Amino acid sequence: MYIIKNSLKNLVRNKGRNFIILFVAFLTLTSVTLSFAIWKISDSSIQRYKDSFFMDATIDYDWEKLEKDFPPTEIVNEDGSVTQESSFELEELTLKDYQKFSHSNCLKSTQFVISAQFASENLTPVPNNLHKNQEIVSIDGMTLEELMKFFHVNTREEVVKELGGETELKKVLDTKDDTAGSLVGYTDISYVEEFVNKEKNLTQGHFPEKDGECIVSSKYAEHNKLKIGDTIEVSGPSKSDTKIIPLKITGIYEASLSETMAEAWGEFYGSVYTTYDTVADSDFHWISPIRVVFQLKDPDSAERFEKELYQKGMSEYRFLSYANEKSEYQKNTEPLKNISHIAEIFTLCAVVIGSAMILLISLLNVRERKYEVGVLRAMGMKKSAVAVEFVFETLVMMVVGFVLSILASTLLSQPIADVLIENLNGASTNLSPAAILLCGLTALGLSVISGLCSVFTVMRHEPMKILSERN
Amino acid sequence: MKLLKLKSVSYIYKGTTKPVLNNINMEFKTEKLYAITGKSGVGKTTLLSLISGLDTATEGSVIYRNEDIATLNRDRYRASNIGVVFQSYNLLTNATALDNVVLSMNISGNKDKTSEKKQMALEVLNRVGIDSEKAKRKVLKLSGGEQQRVAIARAIVHNPDIIIADEPTGNLDSSTERSIMKIFERLAHEDKKCVIIVTHSATAAEYADEVFELNHEKTHKC
């Protein structure tokens, strides 16, 4: 116990020497803590920017490559005019394709908007006002013969051509003749263009918040005598779809459609909006992806993700198209990366220079300490007790240095970060536990360096030799 | 009572071939004041280092209470059984006189309360002529004679059997020299200690019960 008391007394007795050590330790620890804090603030600012930077990508046709590899053929019509007809046929990507593509480490998330027609025993489509005096003929559910008659053609190939592909024919032949609307499933309403463009606006209730909820148009609700809270029952469009899905109405929207839009079949039937999972898990046939947006983790992942898509079977006539520029990201993150890098180097320099200074001061102190060692040992104090006394003194100084540097760093980190990093994006400048830990470890390291000098002196020299040298 | 015996002690400094001490035989008893005299360089201070356990003999042995000190725990021996007054005092200069004396008690393993130890240290300092006010001064602010007294107080405060002093009056005026030597005399005759001093001073040697003259050839009692 007297060893500890003597250590504390020594700290006061040798205040000049100890003040220099404490000052160097304080400067070192504050530099280390501050530079580490700046380093981490820069990194977290980059990360926050990365998180807020949406690198949206969609899959598009590579028209240039298509036209180069499949030049359009010119057809001379009966009236002598010439039309160009594409000579390629590329299968549409299915929901399964997109789902397969979305399983990637390069992506932060994938936003889906998908659609499927639905049938219902109790619901009927809203008659289109523009065609109220005309008979509406739906081709859904027609037989091949009926389709040939409808299109005034004689062969199956001609029907395929009229419909735009073999898949379309299969779809029409398989579709029930009592489809009552289209079910649109989305992951995020901000990716449903008609709501973003304000062509449709929610006027009552709320958007679906969980699976099994939906919103319908006011016209559809009026026509089918529906209100918020009612549950509608829908089934898939295919003749083989038997599963019935109940959907609770949580909201009503108004559609302000242009005449052209109103003519579209989908709008004619009326769209019922629900969650993505409700539609994706419905087992309905003929679910079509309307819009699929891949959100990349960061711009650096773009190249890797595109490569991955080709490996997963995406056609070479498709490519990833980006909604925003990579250069914008680089412009905003490059200065922060530089600050982070400088702070990282500064942290290491502060540790090395601080340690070297403490080592130097400790070595210079050895002469003074050597005399103390000689006196104490000559009085009969054990080597270990002398070493403990000296190491304890160092530890106390480092603890004081640690506390002071944490206080100083807390006060200084905000203004320094403000000067260095103009746009902190709301990043916290509070000292992180990691910065405090690093400061503590550095203090411990400095204690070890300084302590080892003292211990080495204690262990190495015999008291008589020290005292005779001194005298 | 025989307390300390030097048996055929020789000492050669590292890197040299000529022994500074050669086949020394001496005996020291309690209640006596011994003076060791001799020319400079004959090994007086070296002899004190061997007796105080600060160094070990190259040959021969130093026997304390029938035990060779080479086999003892020499830290404990120095802390409890012997008190050394160095020629240049070797006090902790930044500490007070009182702290120096209390530290010696602590090192010797005294478990009394701090206040009791301080009281006892003050008493010992008073006995050697340092009053309470001076006891609380830093050593650097004391005169040479006062520092010498503090060194003596530090050497005797833990009640050792043997007190050795290297040129204890070397830097002092004759009046102070006499008062210091009276302290040693009292320690030997009243406190029943074995006091060994190394000195050049004839005045100091006069106080001794026995005087050993040391030279390179032999040691003899005067």
Domain B2-221 = CATH 3.30.70.1170: no
How many CB atoms neighbour CB A213 within 10 A?
A: 20
For residue range A282-299, list pLDDT tens digits in order: 888 778 899 999 988 877
| Subunit contact A6:B86, Cβ cutoff 8 A | no
Amino acid type, B122: L
pLDDT grade for A15, boundaries at 50, 70 and 90: confident
Bridge-based pairing of strands A244-255 and A200-205 is antiparallel
Enter the tokens of residue B195: 């006091």
Contacts of A470 in chain B (CB under 8 A): 88
Greater pLDDT, A450 or B216: A450
Which helix (H) or strand (E) covers residue A407, if one does?
helix A383-420
Residues A170 and B178: their CA atoms lie apart, in Å, by 129
The Cα of B53 is separated from the nearest Cα of chain A by a number of Å equal to 9
Residue of chain B whose Cα is closest to the Cα of A16: B94
CA B164 to chain centre: 2
What does the domain layout of chain A look like in residue ranges?
2-52+329-470, 55-324
For residue range A321-371, list pLDDT tens digits in order: 887 666 677 777 777 788 888 888 888 888 888 888 888 877 777 767 788
Residues A29 and A351: their CA atoms lie apart, in Å, by 8
Contact yes or no for A45/A370 (Cβ under 8 A): no
Contact yes or no for A38/A341 (Cβ under 8 A): no
* Low-confidence spans in chain B with pLDDT less than 50: none
| Subunit contact A380:B79, Cβ cutoff 8 A | yes
Contact yes or no for B139/B96 (Cβ under 8 A): yes
Residues A199 and A257: their CA atoms lie apart, in Å, by 6
Most confident of A38-42, A150-154, A302-306, B160-164: B160-164
Most confident of A409-423, A444-458, B172-186: B172-186
Contact yes or no for A238/A284 (Cβ under 8 A): yes
What pLDDT shows up at residue A75? 77
| Subunit contact A467:B108, Cβ cutoff 8 A | no
Residue of chain B whose Cα is closest to the Cα of A6: B103
Enter the tokens of residue B128: 């050697």
| Subunit contact A471:B106, Cβ cutoff 8 A | no
Residues B50 and B52: their CA atoms lie apart, in Å, by 5
DSSP A38-92: HHHHHHHHHHHHHHH--EEEEEEE-HHHHHHHSPPEEEE-TTS-EEEE-----PP
Contact yes or no for A296/A55 (Cβ under 8 A): yes
**Closest partner residue to A464 among B49, B76, B91, by Cβ?**
B49
Contacts of B108 in chain A (CB under 8 A): 380
Contact yes or no for A212/A247 (Cβ under 8 A): yes
Contact yes or no for B215/B42 (Cβ under 8 A): yes
Torsion A157-A162-A167-A173 (CA) sign: negative
Mean pLDDT over A213-235 rounds to 91
**Closest partner residue to A463 among B54, B95, B99, by Cβ?**
B54
Can you tell me which residue has the tokens 């240095």?
Answer: A401
Q: How many angstroms separate the Cα of B124 from the Cα of each of A83, A277, B31, B128, B156? A: 124, 93, 19, 7, 8
Contact yes or no for B60/B74 (Cβ under 8 A): no
| Subunit contact A471:B79, Cβ cutoff 8 A | no
Helix (H, G, I), strand (E, B) or coil at B18: coil
- Residue A225: φ, ψ to 5°: 55, 55
Q: Answer yes or no: is pLDDT of A398 > 80.
A: yes
DSSP B38-53: E-TTSSHHHHHHHHTT
pLDDT grade for A14, boundaries at 50, 70 and 90: confident
Q: Answer yes or no: is pLDDT of A131 > 60.
A: no
Helix (H, G, I), strand (E, B) or coil at B72: coil
ipTM over 0.85: yes
The Cα of B209 is separated from the nearest Cα of chain A by a number of Å equal to 27
Residue of chain A whose Cα is closest to the Cα of B48: A464
pLDDT grade for A8, boundaries at 50, 70 and 90: confident
pLDDT grade for A265, boundaries at 50, 70 and 90: very low
For residue range B158-182, list pLDDT tens digits in order: 989 999 999 888 777 788 788 888 9
Q: Answer yes or no: is pLDDT of A262 > 60.
A: no
For residue range A424-448, list pLDDT tens digits in order: 555 556 677 888 888 888 888 888 8
Enter the tokens of residue A42: 């820069």
Computed over every residue of chain A, the mean pLDDT equals 82
**Closest partner residue to B108 among A13, A374, A380, by Cβ?**
A380
The Cα of A335 is separated from the nearest Cα of chain B by a number of Å equal to 54
Contacts of A383 in chain B (CB under 8 A): 75
What pLDDT shows up at residue A336? 78
Contacts of B64 (CB under 8 A, 6+ apart): B3, B4, B72, B77, B81, B162
Residues B29 and B38: their CA atoms lie apart, in Å, by 21
pLDDT-above-90 percentage for chain A: 19
